[in-house]
């Protein structure tokens, strides 16, 4: 671990960003040209003291999970993320496999979406980043680890909890969309990839997955409409839009409601309930 170089690199990346890049409010009396240390810590969900020590070159070696969080918070490119890993004394992740690193372009768009649910998902169904409303709607996906981090895995292996928000008809469409996306990811990344391993695992333990797999559907689709049955708010109808990275490995999913509709009122209520829940557990 090169503490001096790591500290200088973190400071340089912080100086290149502006609060508006991360969806933070801008004060007219602001004197710092880039982000403040506490703002980086806020976005990365870590203590200000720990991040400050990293920038001073006196911090302990950060874990790979912490590096991924910092790379996302500081909007690093893949090359910058790899450099961050090397400075911290870790092996660089394989780019050919599904990565927790979020495409900076998608992250910037997500950061600008605060009034509607939005999240970034990998091609094997792992939520890489989600805003507050998405967490209020679907739950905080950061709590899932290992195989369970994939929504595709949870859909077929834990249907009693994962499908509670969907009606029967929507469950069928969602299941087919998941299998189709996994088929594309497995073909793209190869037989030794996490996508291929997930495919094998689901074939072994889910007859439903195996039956859908036989259809050989390969269309990456997100239904124009989603009907979510929230346990506290009730039914909310959303229009669903998707923005893909150039290599099709990450997707920003945005859910919107018709303005001035009952669904828009339900979404506003969700925002209030979500803020109350998160402040209560903080």
In a domain, 99, yes or no: no
CA 131/CA 119 separation, integer angstroms: 6
Look at residues 36, 57, 87 and tell me which one is the last residue of a structural domain: 87
Look at residues 54, 87, 120 and tell me which one is the last residue of a structural domain: 87
Q: What is the CATH number of the domain that holds 13?
A: 1.10.260.40
Q: Shortest CA distance to 179 belongs to which of 204, 128, 213?
A: 213
119 with 63, same domain: the answer is: no
In a domain, 260, yes or no: yes
Sign of the C-alpha dihedral, residues 76, 78, 81, 86? negative
Per the listing, tokens 């391993």 go with 197
In a domain, 96, yes or no: no
pLDDT in tens, 30-78: 776 788 888 888 888 889 999 999 999 998 899 988 898 898 888 887 7
Per the listing, tokens 């490995």 go with 249
43 with 110, same domain: the answer is: no
CA 243/CA 225 separation, integer angstroms: 16
Interior angle at CA 214, CA 213 and CA 219, nearest 5: 60
54 with 118, same domain: the answer is: no
162-181 as b/e: b if 16+ CB within 10 A? bbebbeeebeeebbebbbbb
In a domain, 95, yes or no: no
193 with 115, same domain: the answer is: yes
CB neighbours of residue 30 within 10 Å = 11
CB neighbours of residue 247 within 10 Å = 10
114 with 81, same domain: the answer is: no
Computed over its alpha carbons, how large is the radius of gyration of the chain? 20
Q: Shortest CA distance to 142 belongs to which of 223, 44, 226?
A: 44
Range of the domain at 78: 3-87
Sorted by sequence, the CB contacts under 8 Å of residue 273 that are 6+ apart come out as 136, 232, 233
Whether pTM > 0.85 for this model: the answer is: no
Q: List per-residue pLDDT tens for the chain, 282 residues long.
A: 899 999 999 999 888 887 767 666 666 677 767 888 888 888 888 899 999 999 999 988 999 888 988 988 888 877 788 899 999 999 887 654 445 678 888 888 998 898 999 999 999 999 998 998 999 999 888 788 888 999 999 999 999 999 999 988 789 989 999 999 999 889 888 888 899 999 999 999 999 999 999 998 887 665 578 899 998 899 999 999 999 888 788 999 999 999 999 999 999 999 888 655 544 444
């Amino acid at each position: 671990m090169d503490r001096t170089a790591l500290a200088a690199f973190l400071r340089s990346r912080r100086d290149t960003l502006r609060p508006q890049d991360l969806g933070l409010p801008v004060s007219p009396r602001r004197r710092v040209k880039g982000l403040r240390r506490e703002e980086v810590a806020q976005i990365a969900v870590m203590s200000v003291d720990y991040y400050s020590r990293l920038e001073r070159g006196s911090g302990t070696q950060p874990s790979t999970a912490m590096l991924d969080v910092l790379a996302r918070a500081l909007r690093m490119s893949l090359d910058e993320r790899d450099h961050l890993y090397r400075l911290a004394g870790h092996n660089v992740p394989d780019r050919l496999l599904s990565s927790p690193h979020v495409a900076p372009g998608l992250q910037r768009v997500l950061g600008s979406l605060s009034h509607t649910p939005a999240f970034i998902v990998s091609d094997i169904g792992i939520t890489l980043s989600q805003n507050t409303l998405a967490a209020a709607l679907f739950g905080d996906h950061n709590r899932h680890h290992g195989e369970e981090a994939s929504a595709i895995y949870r859909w077929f292996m834990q249907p009693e909890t994962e499908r509670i928000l969907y009606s029967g008809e929507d469950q069928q469409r969602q299941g087919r969309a998941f299998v189709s996306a996994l088929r594309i990811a497995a073909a793209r990344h190869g037989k030794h990839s996490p996508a291929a391993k997930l495919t094998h695992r689901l074939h072994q333990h889910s007859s439903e997955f195996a039956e859908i797999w036989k259809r050989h559907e390969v269309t990456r689709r997100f239904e124009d409409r989603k009907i979510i049955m929230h346990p506290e708010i009730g039914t909310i109808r959303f229009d669903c839009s998707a923005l893909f990275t150039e290599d099709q490995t990450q997707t920003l999913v945005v859910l919107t409601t018709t303005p001035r509709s009952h669904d828009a009122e339900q979404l506003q209520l969700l925002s209030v309930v979500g803020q109350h829940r998160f402040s209560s557990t903080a």
